[in-house]
Amino acid sequence: MCLSAIWRLGIRHYSAVGLVERLASRGYLSRREGPHDRRRMSLELTASG
């Protein structure tokens, strides 16, 4: 999902961070830091997600 779609859904940064944390802790998402910018994350659904 691109950022513009997230903003149209009304999801704010602080809400998205918590959502990603919960989904990752439950094994639904895997996170990977960007190779050149640690602020950038790649998210992928796991087999459970």
Please write the tens of the pLDDT for every residue from 1-49: 566 767 777 877 778 888 889 999 999 999 888 888 878 888 888 998 8
Residue 10, pLDDT score: 80
Question: Any residues with CB less than 8 A from the CB of 34 and at least 6 apart, and which?
Answer: 40, 41, 42
The answer, as to whether pTM is greater than 0.85, is: no
Smallest CA-to-CA distance from 47 within 27, 32, 33 is with 27
Residue 24, pLDDT score: 92
Residue 47, pLDDT score: 93
Residue pair 30/40 in contact (Cβ under 8 Å)? The answer is: no
